[in-house]
Copies of this chain bind each other. A is one copy, B any other.
Amino acid sequence: MVKRSETSGRLDDAARAGWLYYVAGRTQDEIASSMGISRQSAQRLVSLAVAERLIKVRLDHPIAACLELANAVREKYGLRQVDIVPSDPGAGATTVGIAEAAAAEIERWLKKTDPIVLAVGTGRTLKAAVDQLPAIECINHRIVSLTGNIAPDGSAAYYNVIFSMADAVKARHFPMPLPVLVTSAEERETLHAQQLVRSTLDMSAQADVTFVGIGELGIDGPLCVDGFLEKGEMMELMDNGAVGEICGWIFDSEGKLLDNPINERVASAPIPSRDTSVVIGIGKGKRKMKAIKAAVTGHQINGLITDEEVAEYLLT
């Protein structure tokens, strides 16, 4: 039995219980008696292990349907890489499944031995993916955020994922000390000219791989919900043909960045080159379908992680 120091002891016990349950296949009763605790406590430890993401489950079998879809989507849109996860008919717009898949992909990159620059955008889906990451130590890599970490109300933006990532991944990380939207193009110029910002922007342009969430527009889309845009602004954007955004950059149904006042105020770094690096978009669900189709059509991204439902839509 591993040492039972007060604080870390609980997680140790949780890990032990989780291992006995999932890996060794013991029942919770057996675990309880072997650890000298009650059955209920054993159950709690097991669910704690799950809640703390100590237990990672992955499916080691390419579901043929998903593979076929992935291939078809990749060919049709000329993408470098496509991952399709099964749709979960019950759960609606949640991040279940896609987060794990994205985390696995991120992990794959981080395990490379050669130093890489990994850029991340923002969004709930990406946040969920990052939360699935195990602890990794990769001193050689650098992680850079494409988007600002300051919310409209001045607080640190919750969905700025680089901080969550720093918790799990031991690597140098470079946040972007800017708001997401500034008040004018001129202000953006000024801010971007600062030395600190400048170097972060330069680094992001050299990213080897980039993970971004794909956001849909609409009055219940993230830009409105998180208070970046007013309802009125959103309606106007949509009237002008906007269908989605990546890191705040708004694009139309062809995937072309819109030439409008909002995009001039976006303080995010430009999306790294799709010619020389891998830019993987993450998103699923009916509401994001149009945005995703636009993003792949206009080559805002050259990699995609999504679900069956969206994949089938992309093929129609």
The oligomer's copy count stands at 2
Which A14-58 residues sit within 8 Å CB-CB of chain B?
14-16, 18-20, 22-26, 30, 34-36, 49, 52-58
Select the stretch in A62-70, A141-149, A244-252 that faces chain B: A62-70
- Complex Cα gap A26–B96 (Å): 10
Supposing A2-B86, A3-B97, A24-B88 touch, asked if A19 and B65 sit within 8 A by C-beta, the answer is no
Write the chain B residue with the least CB distance to A67: B19
Write the chain B residue with the least CB distance to A94: B24
Which chain B residues lie closer than 8 Å to A58 at the CB level?
23, 55-56, 58
Is A216 at the interface (CB under 8 A from chain B)? no
Q: Indicate the size class of the contact surface on chain A.
A: 35 or more
Supposing A25-B96, A97-B24 touch, asked if A54 and B65 sit within 8 A by C-beta, the answer is no
Which chain B residues lie closer than 8 Å to A60 at the CB level?
53-56, 134-135
The listed residue (B9, B23, B59, B108) touching A18 by CB distance below 8 A is: B59
Contact call A64/B9, Cβ cutoff below 8 A:
yes
Which A82-125 residues sit within 8 Å CB-CB of chain B?
83, 85-86, 88-91, 96-97, 100-101, 104-105, 107-109, 111
Which chain B residues lie closer than 8 Å to A104 at the CB level?
1, 3-4
Say how far A132's CB is from chain B's closest CB, in angstroms: 9
Most buried by B among A24, A55, A86, A105: A24
Contact call A59/B90, Cβ cutoff below 8 A:
no
Is A229 at the interface (CB under 8 A from chain B)? no
Question: Contact flags (1/0) for A127-168 with B, using CB distance below 8 Å?
Answer: 000000011000000000000000000000000000000000
- Complex Cα gap A12–B97 (Å): 14
The listed residue (B8, B59, B88) touching A64 by CB distance below 8 A is: B8
Is A240 at the interface (CB under 8 A from chain B)? no
- Complex Cα gap A104–B36 (Å): 10
Which chain B residues lie closer than 8 Å to A68 at the CB level?
23
Contact call A59/B22, Cβ cutoff below 8 A:
yes
24 contacts between A and B (CB under 8 A): A1-B83, A2-B66, A3-B100, A12-B61, A12-B64, A14-B61, A15-B61, A15-B62, A15-B64, A16-B63, A16-B67, A16-B86, A19-B85, A19-B86, A23-B58, A24-B86, A24-B91, A26-B91, A34-B81, A34-B89, A36-B109, A54-B60, A55-B60, A60-B134
